[in-house]
Structure 1
Amino acid sequence: MGRPPLHSADDFVDAAIRLFAEGGIRALTMNAVAREVSAPSGSIYHRFPDRAALLAAVWFRTTGDFQRGYLDVLGDPPTPGSAVRAAVWTVDWCRTHLSEAVVLQAGVRAFEPDGWPEAARAELAVRDEASKHGIDKVFQLLAKETGHPADQIAFAMLDLPLAAVRRHLLAGEVPPKRIDKLVRDLVGLMLAIPAD
């Protein structure tokens, strides 16, 4: 019986996320990731056959973790109040998951999806379609409930909180706590929710 591996796939993905946040896509090499976890360079290939597979894993795990948390806060069915909470949660998540937030801020194109393995590209298409369908449904439900256009709901829930943290993420800085109130007040105003 062989000994268990010292480093899991998640260890390598965590390291890749940190390296990306610190130095961008060029810093994210297989050797650099292995070095980051103090693993022999060959050991990463037992988890990921190539850099493209690692890049896909970084994107999928980061977006999956964010979306699960966001949807938990949003609730089912979503309400205007939960939409405000989800917008504020986005800012807080960026603060407590700075490296992952830098990954999301960069967008999928930064992770070179055209070079991913075919199965990963297919998974990306399925995930993107499911995400778009799910969030569009949320926007429509909230538009019906609030009487505001769906694009205004989308701006309030997604674009506004991301714009509020963007400057900090690009500088590699933790977004300050005061942004929570700013986002809460602005999103509440846009959705006609009274401020706390």
Structure 2
Amino acid sequence: MKRTSYHHGDLRATLMDACLRLIESEGLAAVSLRRVAREAGVSSGAPYHHFADRAALLSALSIDGFQQLAAYLTAARASTTDPLQALTELGVAYVQFSREHPAQFRLMFRPELSQPDKHPDAHAAGDAAFDVLVETVAECVAVGALPADRAETLAVAWWALGHGLASLWLDGYLEKRSEQMGTHAPELVDAITRTFTALITPDASAG
């Protein structure tokens, strides 16, 4: 449903919402400033008050997505005082974000569309979200739960796990596999993240 009115200060948010709706319904290829304006119910020139071109709009959505993801991860990290448990919660939160913001999640990892080299703020937002994971791994190292010499590798591995689970769920494969296993996707995500946490601890590695 198109928005036919908006407060002047809400135009930017209106256009971003319209762009996400368009991505969800027709895919990224359908996005142009003119088409987004039509979806938002505003004049064709309205988007240029906030976005120089299509790439600028997509970059803004990417930045917003990473900022929201960082908030999800920060809240998950704060939900427990156990660093290893926090690591598990981060994985679950990452997947949860992708489920609640599927169009934005897919966009955030399409640099050829948002052109992050031309929009360094997008890089900074992505790094800030990743830093929540890095800091949580560092806390695990500090209490002796993870080996210091593998901290950077484990941070990337954990990101890869969360992103893989999120992508598999969005594409429908995780739910299909869950049914075959007699469980449900949320339970499988939780079990996988907990299993991975157990496997990367020094005691498990030694065994």
> What band does the TM-score fall into relative to the shorter chain?
0.7 to 0.9
Kindly report which structure 2 residues correspond to 1:1-196, keeping only aligned pairs within 5 A, or say none: 4-5=7-8, 8-75=11-78, 79-104=83-108, 106-114=109-117, 116=118, 121-144=119-142, 145-148=144-147, 149-150=150-151, 151-156=153-158, 158-169=159-170, 171=171, 176=175, 178-192=184-198
SS at match of 1:162: helix
AA matched with 2:121: E
Local SS of the residue matching 1:140: helix
Contact (CA 8 Å) 1:153, 1:191: kept in 2 or not?
no
Tell me: CA distance 1:10–1:109, structure 2 relative to 1, closer, same or farther (3 Å): same
Change (3 A) 1:134 1:85: closer
Which residue in 1 is equivalent to 2:181?
Answer: none
Cα deviation digits, residues 53-76 of structure 1 (max 9, x gap): 212211111111111111121129
Whole-angstrom CA distance in 2 between matches of 1:35 and 1:122: 29
The answer to which of 89-98 and 132-141 deviates more is: 132-141
AA in 2 matched with 1:95: R
Shift of 1:175: 6.8
Return 5+ residue gaps in structure 2 as ranges: 1-5, 179-183, 200-207
Give the distance between the partners of 1:147 and 1:25, measured in 2 at CA.
Answer: 40
**Superposition RMSD on alpha carbons, in Å?**
3.1
CA deviation vs aligned residue, 1:16-48 (integer Å, no higher than 9, x gap):
223234444332100111111121211122222
8 A contact 2:77–2:86 mirrored in 1: yes
User: Normalised by the size of structure 1, how large is the TM-score?
Assistant: 0.75
Q: 2:204 corresponds to which residue? A: none
Deviates further, 59-68 or 24-33 = 24-33
**Percentage identity across paired residues of the two chains:** 19
How many pairs align? 182
Q: Which has the higher contact order (CA 8 A, sep 6+)?
A: 1
**Deviation of 1:141 (Å):** 2.4
**Change over 3 Å in CA distance of 1:71–1:13 after alignment to 2:** same
* Cα distance per residue 1:88-128 (max 9 Å; x no partner): 12222222222222223x333332234x4xxxx34334445
Distance verdict in 2 for CA 1:189–1:125, change over 3 Å: closer
Shift of the 86–126 alpha-carbon distance from structure 1 to 2, 3 Å rule, reads closer
String of CA shifts for 1:145-172, please: whole Å, max 9, x gaps.
323532235423x221221231343x4x
Counterpart CA distance in 2 for 1:134 and 1:6 is 31
